[in-house]
Amino acid sequence: MSRLSVNALGGAYLNFSQVGSGFPLVFLHGFTGNRETWRAFGASVSKYYKLVTVDLPGHGESDSPDSSDLYTMEIHVKALGELLDHLEFEQVAWIGYSLGGRIALGATLGMPDRSAALVLESASPGISKLGERVQRTKDDQALANWIEEAGVTEFVNYWEALPMWDSQNRLSELIRKRLRSQRLLNKPIGLANSLRGIGSGAQPQYYSRLGQINVPTLLLAGEEDRKFLQVATEMDRNISNCSLKVVSQAGHCIHLEQPVIFKELVFKFLKENLHHEAIK
C-alpha cells in the first residue's frame, strides 16, 4: 500500500496499491467500495500486467476532504493524472466498476493521450435529461445529509437492502461479509461528499461525447441488471471500436457474481487490444 499527497485534492492523500509487471491497468471501484474489491482478479493477472488499484477520494483508506468541491469529476481526473505522473506511466488501461466506471470514462475523455483501452462494468455516462439530472442531484443531496446524520452502519443497512443488490444473495456468506466490511470502513463525510460531488446527477453527462472515445472499449453488463444493460446498449451504439458483453446470472456487480467469466472477458479483451511486449 502507498499514499500520495495530491495537489488537486488540496494536499489530501490518495491510497493505492500496485502489483505485478507489464503494461499498467488502473482499477477503480464502485461507490462504498475500495481497492480490495479487485483482490481476486488481481491475483490472477498480475504476472502479465502491472495492476494499480485505487481507493477513490472519500473511500477506503484515502482521505475524505471536508469540501464536496474536491469530489467533482474534474478533480477526480486531475487526481488520477497526478497519480500517473507519480508512477511515471505514459499510458494506462482503465477498468472501472459503477462509480469507478463513470470516473474511468471521464479519465479517458479528459486524458485521451494517456488512455490505451477502457473497460466499463455496469457504468453509465451520466443522466442525459436535464430534469432527471436535477432531481437525482436533489435526491443524492438528501441521501448525503442523511448519511452524515445516521452514520455508516445505518446507511449500509439501507444500501444493502436495495433491490439492485438482490442478485448478490447468491454470493457465499464469506464474500458477502467481506463486501459489508469494505462498506463499513468508509467515513460518513467521504460517502456523503462523494454523492454531492460526483453522484450521477452532479457529474457531467457524457452521452454527447461518447463519439470522441478513440480507444478500444469493452462494456460489461449483467443480464439481470436491466437499467444498466439498457444504458450499456445505448453506449455501445455511440462508441466506435466497442464491444458489449452481457453476462448471464449476474446483476450489477459482475466481478463478484461471475468472477471467472469477468476475468475471461477482460483478459481476452486486453490481450487483443493492448499491443505491448509484456503481454505477447
Report the alpha-carbon distance of residue 248 to residue 258 in Å, rounded: 9
Q: Has residue 275 got a pLDDT over 90?
A: no
CATH number of the domain within which 254 lies: 3.40.50.1820
Amino acid 263: pLDDT: 94
Q: List Cβ neighbours of 20 (8 Å cut-off, separation of 6 or more).
A: 42, 45, 46, 47, 48, 49, 50, 51
**Structural domain span for residue 225:** 2-279
pTM > 0.85: yes
Say what the pLDDT of residue 43 is: 75
The number of domains in the chain is: 1
What mean pLDDT do residues 44-64 have?
92
Q: Which of 159, 144, 142, 127 is nearest to 33 (CA)?
A: 159
The 3-state DSSP class for residue 249 equals coil
Contact 79, 14 (CB under 8 A): yes
* 177-234 pLDDT, tens digit each: 999 999 999 999 999 999 999 999 999 999 999 999 999 999 999 999 999 999 999 9
- Do 158 and 180 contact (CB within 8 A), yes or no? no
Rounded Cα–Cα distance for residues 41 and 166 (Å): 23
Helices in the chain by DSSP H: which ranges? 39-45, 73-87, 99-110, 130-150, 152-160, 173-184, 188-198, 226-238, 254-257, 259-273
Find cell 505522473 and name the residue. 85
With cell 504476472, the residue in question is 47
